[in-house]
Amino acid sequence: MRLHLHKKRSEAKQSFTQLAGVSLLKPLKGVDPNLISNLETFFTLDYPKYEILLCVQDTDDPAVDVCKKLLGKYPNVDARLFIGGKKVGINPKINNLMPGYEGAKYGLVWICDSGIRVKPDTLTDLTNHMTEKVGLVHGLPYVADRQGFAATLEQVYFGTSHPRSYISANVTGIKCVTGMSCLMRKDVLDQAGGLVAFAQYIAEDYFMAKAIADRGWKFSMATQVALQNSGSYSIGQFQSRMIRWTKLRINMLPGTVLEPVSECFLASLIIGWAAHHVFRWDMMVFFMCHCLAWFISDYIQLTGIQGAPLCFSKLDFAVAWFIRESMAVQIFLSALWDPTISWRTGRYRLRCGGTAEEILDV
């Protein structure tokens, strides 16, 4: 993992994709303290040919003023602002992006969430991986250094549990992609029906990836992470996000019901029980040793993904890791209890297979 992430870009590869134009689709709703600084990093990308398509659903959204400020500050950057969206389904992100997608002029489309910040060479890194047989390039989700325990908890999760399953799935050929930062071939999306075809799903990223894979294209993971840097975060927000993601996975992939056994405490209990009955080893001693080995492995993995010194102490890591692992089963049970989710300004009832219907207040 450390050998793949944080690599320096290859000059040979850079020349291969130097003239590949990219249309960046940026869905925006509301503002947080980091929005303008995050968004500005896209205006300073070191890439020869790209456009920024800023998409805001509502005319009175404060994000409009942020966009106009940056458009005025960087008049030489090819950027446009689309306001109003176009309702084509229940997915608010797709509805918001539709005018920008229809106005995109390049063959590569980069859909990137509002909370992501990038380095000047991030787009070059993505296009370096868009080789002849690749149809989608994605970034491993991670979190920027921020202050507070809620930030530490989120960073520990995205450096331990999440990449463990994310990287394992991609290494074994399972298509596991999050839509935080995805570079895709527009003609392949158009063959699948364009963005409209995915407006019936809440987890549009999963179904876009599936459509690309079904057409014989490969995936590639960038060497730079998709760095989340939201200025608004709390333990409650983190928990709600995890429950929402789990609900989506349960409805899309029934095998998700086995997910709890992949978490440290439950897995250690099961393996400890098996070791006791097969080898007559002490169950609790085995449980503690297994948890300790898991804990150390997670710390090593986190430092590898970070690629730099952590902004919190080993004690902070230990506390955040223990709390995150303790929350896992509760998050799963909460997801099973209620099939509805709240996302952005809407509430939705999930259906088996990944489709959803909006719950309208009467």
Nearest to 138 by CA among 167, 165, 95: 167
d(CA 207, CA 253): 12
Hey, what are 169's tokens? 């799935």
pLDDT of residue 8: 58
Average per-residue pLDDT for the chain: 91
d(CA 358, CA 352): 15
pTM above 0.75, yes or no: yes
pLDDT in tens, 52-111: 999 999 999 999 999 999 999 999 999 999 999 999 999 999 999 999 999 999 999 999
Domains and their CATH numbers in the chain? 22-232 (3.90.550.10), 252-359 (no CATH)
Arithmetic mean of pLDDT, 43-52 = 96
d(CA 116, CA 122): 11
The rounded percent of the chain whose pLDDT value lies above 90 is 78
Catalytic residues: 205
Q: Which residue has the higher pLDDT, 21 or 17?
A: 21
pLDDT of residue 16: 40
User: Per residue in 334-352, is it b (16+ CB within 10 Å) or e — as a string?
Assistant: bbeeeeebebeeeebebee
Arithmetic mean of pLDDT, 218-231 = 95
